[in-house]
Amino acid sequence: MVTPQPSQAEQAHQDALSYVGNLESGHDVPLGPTGRPLRDIPEPTPVSSHGPARVIAMCNQKGGVGKTTSTINLGASLADYGRRVLLVDLDPQGALSAGLGVAHHDLDLTVHNLLVERKRSIDDVLMRTRIEGLDLLPSNIDLSAAEIQLVTEVAREQTLGRVLDPVLDRYDYVLIDCQPSLGLLTVNALACADSVIIPMECEFFSLRGLALLNDTIEKVHDRLNPKLSLEGIVVTMFDVRTLHAREVMSRVVEVFGDLVYHTVINRTVRFPETSVAGEPITTWAPNSGGAEAYRALAREVIHRCAR
């Protein structure tokens, strides 16, 4: 459904030239990197109470697209705007946990225990991060056994929803960092989520993968979770200097329209540095372009969700 056709390359090129031309000519309504007029999203209104949480699955079956980086930094930015946020590490690699400075290999209790031990309390596993208002359910390699252990369970696709339900009233957002596959763990995330945000690297292979992921979302919507919807697509690792990136951007906006966030995450060396530091870019380099981009994305998410 979203596979780009070679005949559209010329139109994409013209769109890209139009984008650059508008910026150079000082057009009254300058276009952003998505090729649409720039939007000024206002600062979010402070909240006096919290919950119930909007559960968002951060999902893409293709690895290396900035999914975990986006989960960490969107979560931290939402917390900076006074929202209470729970991050759920649902990837056995534990990259989300490591990216927040957690020595996840040494943990005795993780998401794995919550999924396979019915009597285990979520508060036994819940961790506070160094960011006020940002909590974490950590993960490590133990989680890789969960799909096998859950396969014989009744309503196995609803296990994560059962785990999260007791704490939804504490938070405004729950962001689930899904593993880069469409297995049982990811289906669990989709089955309990209100919506999906797809971080997408700006290159053609990522664009092609959107069709498969969109099909999975539709199947989960029809069979398991009728409230599930596509919240939006955030383009990551964007380099406006390359025609390839601009062509892909043009195509994804053509297919998905306003589902594509106006905020674009540019490629930068700062993000790998934050992974080593074990903290979000909003605290590691708060004045950087990457930090401002995720704050802008948080404003868009809050504006769309109206919470």
128 pLDDT above the threshold of 80: yes
pLDDT tops 50 at residue 2: no
161-171 pLDDT, tens digit each: 999 999 999 99
Which residue, chain included where needed, has tokens 């092609």? 208
One-letter amino acid for residue 85 of the chain: V
Residue extents of the structural domains in the chain: 50-305
Type of residue found at 79: A
Contact 208, 238 (CB under 8 A): no
pLDDT at 276: 76
Q: pLDDT grade, residue 307 (50/70/90)?
A: low
- Give 202's pLDDT tier (boundaries 50, 70, 90): confident
What residues have CB less than 8 Å from 170, skipping those under 6 apart?
Answer: 50, 51, 53, 84, 86
Report residue 282's pLDDT band, with 50, 70 and 90 as the boundaries: very high
Contact 87, 135 (CB under 8 A): yes
Q: Are 180 and 212 in contact (CB under 8 A)?
A: no
Residue with tokens 């309503």: 155
Q: Whose structure tokens read 């917390």? A: 79
Which of residues 270 and 48 earns the better pLDDT score? Answer: 48
Average pLDDT taken over every residue of the chain: 88
Strands 54-58 and 173-178: parallel
Whether the pLDDT of residue 272 is over 50: the answer is yes
Contacts of 169 (CB under 8 A, 6+ apart): 50, 51, 52, 53
Start-to-end CA distance of the chain, whole Å, equals 32
Least confident of 105-109, 266-270, 280-284: 266-270
pLDDT (0 to 100) of residue 200: 93
Task: Assign domain 50-305 to its CATH superfamily.
Answer: P-loop containing nucleotide triphosphate hydrolases (3.40.50.300)
Share of the chain above pLDDT 90, in %: 65
The residue among 154 and 260 whose pLDDT is bigger is 260
